[in-house]
């Protein structure tokens, strides 16, 4: 079942990022970075009273000028409404209630999404600051005073969020549906691909139980399976707003990726891998999602018998952190190889869900350490005691060893490659955690 998602929405400078950091706490610092990839820390996992959930900071992309603020907030709220389980609407006690707060509150009310109203910068402890009362005017219920700087009130805030999480199993109808995010820079052909797919396949319904809260998702099924294309309504009917506020493309992509099982990363055959593609692909990689690299507009370029191989090499070089992702060359315009995408989606989705027994893993480990000795330093040699899989999507392995310092990155890479050589795990990143024991 998908994890609940809490989205923090609010005017610029109300303290969204600071609250985000406070709620997420220590966890941010333990997220590993992929070399060459920068990801704005918009998304993180958090835990409260036994509930694990994701938090997204919809800030980080604040508008430049005042005139943009309202448009910005509307878009931000729209995205949160589409994707979040609970929306935290953050206001500022120092500035007080503003007209744009009221406007966004109305939007949130109309959406019928669970909303938790929090009022930040309530830094003093002690008797209730009467300034808080005006926030009742928003019609969003009791305002919770918080101080993102000091952490006061964050417990109450999280309690209020958790109350809105669905009970276990509420969304089970969606279990056999593969959720797919189509991502890529503007004009790479995302809408065209979705239109091609939905136009060709029989669209059954867009109102499966459990998908109602995501009215922008497109559901369909064919003989290969059931699929939910995430966040595609806006893509199908291109709105002008999207082009104007391009800043949102990263947030949109991030949210779609987090909800997806499989990402289709589109690359324009005319341009090859660009910096923006690297960034988009990095988001999928860091989110630990199964991915397929889809080179679109294959019809539009001049090619000979080497073109495909050359492009494949270029992609492998430019996106060296995701050599696990299969590459497919398509044309959304002519439909060339579009049907093949479904088999690939099923395949990488299954690969990401693979469970490997501890016995199997350890025989691969024994083999690997016999073939290439583990590193040593000043007479002390790395000993890997054993390895076990602790999670799927992506497959996550924990290695217990005598000295984590000695388990260099290159040796981790080597072990990862040995695992991949044996078990495949094609299309999915894998996580390796090193634990020191004894």
Distance CA 48, CA 359 (A): 34
Strand partners, 48: 51
Flag whether 421 is marked binding.
no
Q: How far is the CB of 340 from ligand GDP (least distance, A)?
A: 14
Using CB under 6 A as the binding rule, whether residue 198 contacts ligand GDP is answered as no
Distance CA 44, CA 23 (A): 10
Flag whether 379 is marked binding.
no
Q: Which of 64, 155, 166, 186 binds ligand GDP (CB under 6 A)?
A: 186
Q: How far is the CB of 225 from ligand GDP (least distance, A)?
A: 24
Bond into 394 cis (ω within 30) = yes
Q: Which of 192, 211, 254, 351 binds ligand GDP (CB under 6 A)?
A: 192
Q: Tally Cβ neighbours within 10 Å of residue 227.
A: 25
Using CB under 6 A as the binding rule, whether residue 121 contacts ligand GDP is answered as no
Q: Which of 190, 252, 259, 289 binds ligand GDP (CB under 6 A)?
A: 190
Q: How far is the CB of 162 from ligand GDP (least distance, A)?
A: 37
Q: How far is the CB of 269 from ligand GDP (least distance, A)?
A: 8
Using CB under 6 A as the binding rule, whether residue 235 contacts ligand GDP is answered as yes
The residue assigned the tokens 């910068």 is: 121
Q: Would you say the C-alpha torsion 354, 359, 364, 365 has a positive or negative sign?
A: positive
> Which residue in 324, 296, 328 sits closest to 312, CA to CA?
328
Q: Which are the contacts of 185, defined by CB distance < 8 A and separation ≥ 6?
A: 249, 266, 268, 274, 276, 277, 280
Flag whether 122 is marked binding.
yes
Region of 28-36, 179-187, 225-233, 275-283 interacting with ligand GDP (CB under 6 A): 179-187
Flag whether 299 is marked binding.
yes
Instruction: Specify the residue, 138 or 295, whose C-beta has the smaller distance to ligand GDP.
Output: 295
Residues 274-303 that bind ligand GDP (CB under 6 A): 296-297, 299-300
Region of 17-25, 188-196, 198-206, 272-280 interacting with ligand GDP (CB under 6 A): 188-196
Structure tokens at 280: 């988009």
Distance CA 254, CA 281 (A): 11
Q: How far is the CB of 394 from ligand GDP (least distance, A)?
A: 26
Pair type for strands 262-268 and 290-296 = parallel
Q: Are 393 and 354 in contact (CB under 8 A)?
A: no
Size of the site for ligand GDP (CB under 6 A): 16
Q: Would you say the C-alpha torsion 27, 165, 391, 223 has a positive or negative sign?
A: negative
User: What angle do helix axes 409-423 and 358-371 make, rounded to 10 degrees?
Assistant: 120
Instruction: Specify the residue, 246 or 367, whose C-beta has the smaller distance to ligand GDP.
Output: 246
Instruction: Specify the residue, 113 or 297, whose C-beta has the smaller distance to ligand GDP.
Output: 297
Using CB under 6 A as the binding rule, whether residue 333 contacts ligand GDP is answered as yes
Distance CA 338, CA 160 (A): 45
Distance CA 386, CA 391 (A): 16
Which residue is nearest to ligand GDP, using beta carbons? Answer: 189
Q: Are 83 and 231 in contact (CB under 8 A)?
A: yes
Instruction: Specify the residue, 290 or 332, whose C-beta has the smaller distance to ligand GDP.
Output: 332
Q: Tally Cβ neighbours within 10 Å of residue 50.
A: 6
Region of 8-16, 187-195, 349-357, 393-401 interacting with ligand GDP (CB under 6 A): 187-195
Instruction: Specify the residue, 82 or 191, whose C-beta has the smaller distance to ligand GDP.
Output: 191
Q: Which of 188, 197, 253, 338 binds ligand GDP (CB under 6 A)?
A: 188
Instruction: Specify the residue, 88 or 235, whose C-beta has the smaller distance to ligand GDP.
Output: 235
Cα atoms in the Cβ-side hemisphere of radius 13 Å centred on 20:
27
Using CB under 6 A as the binding rule, whether residue 191 contacts ligand GDP is answered as yes
Q: Could you say which DSSP state residue 234 is in?
A: H
Residues annotated within the binding site for GTP are 10-17, 57-61, 120-123, 184-191, 231-235, 296-299
Footprint of ligand GDP (CB under 6 A) = 184, 186-192, 235, 296-297, 299-300, 331-333
């Amino acid at each position: 079942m998908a994890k609940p998602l809490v989205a923090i929405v609010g005017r610029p400078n109300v303290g969204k990022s600071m609250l985000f950091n406070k709620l997420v706490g220590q966890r941010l610092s333990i997220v590993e970075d992929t070399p060459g990839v920068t990801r704005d820390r918009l998304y993180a996992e958090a835990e409260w009273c036994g509930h694990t959930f994701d938090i997204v900071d919809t800030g980080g992309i604040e508008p430049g000028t005042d005139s943009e603020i309202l448009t910005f907030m509307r878009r931000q709220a729209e995205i949160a409404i589409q994707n979040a389980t609970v929306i935290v609407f953050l206001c500022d006690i120092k500035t007080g209630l503003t007209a744009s707060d009221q406007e966004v509150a109305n939007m949130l009310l109309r959406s019928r999404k669970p909303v938790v109203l929090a009022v930040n910068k309530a830094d003093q402890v002690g008797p209730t600051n009467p300034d808080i009362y005006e926030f009742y005017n928003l019609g969003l219920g009791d305002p919770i005073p918080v101080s993102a700087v000091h952490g006061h009130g964050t417990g109450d805030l999280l309690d209020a969020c958790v109350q809105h999480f669905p009970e276990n199993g509420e969304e089970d109808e969606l279990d056999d549906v593969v959720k797919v995010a189509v991502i890529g820079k503007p004009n790479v052909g995302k809408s065209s691909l979705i239109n091609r797919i939905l136009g060709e396949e029989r669209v059954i319904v867009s109102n499966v139980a459990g998908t109602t809260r995501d009215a922008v998702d497109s559901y369909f099924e064919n003989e290969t399976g059931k699929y939910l294309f995430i966040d595609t309504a806006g893509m199908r009917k291109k709105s002008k707003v999207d082009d104007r506020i391009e800043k949102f493309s990263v947030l949109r992509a991030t949210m779609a990726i987090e909800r997806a099982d499989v990402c289709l990363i589109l690359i324009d055959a005319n341009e090859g891998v660009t910096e923006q593609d690297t960034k988009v692909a990095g988001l999928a990689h860091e989110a630990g999602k199964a991915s397929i690299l889809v080179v679109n507009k294959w019809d539009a370029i001049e090619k000979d018998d080497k073109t495909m191989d050359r492009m494949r090499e270029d992609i492998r070089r430019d996106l060296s952190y995701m050599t696990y992702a299969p590459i497919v060359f398509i044309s959304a315009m002519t439909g060339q190889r579009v049907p093949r995408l479904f088999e690939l989606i099923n395949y990488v989705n299954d690969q990401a869900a693979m469970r490997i027994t501890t016995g199997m893993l350890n025989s691969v480990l024994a083999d690997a350490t016999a073939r290439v000795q583990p590193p040593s330093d000043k007479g002390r040699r790395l000993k890997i005691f054993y390895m076990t899989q602790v999670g799927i999507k992506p497959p996550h392995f924990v290695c217990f060893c005598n000295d984590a310092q000695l388990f260099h990155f290159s040796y981790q890479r080597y072990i990862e490659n040995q695992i991949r050589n044996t078990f495949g795990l094609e299309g999915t990143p894998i996580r390796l955690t090193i634990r020191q024991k004894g």
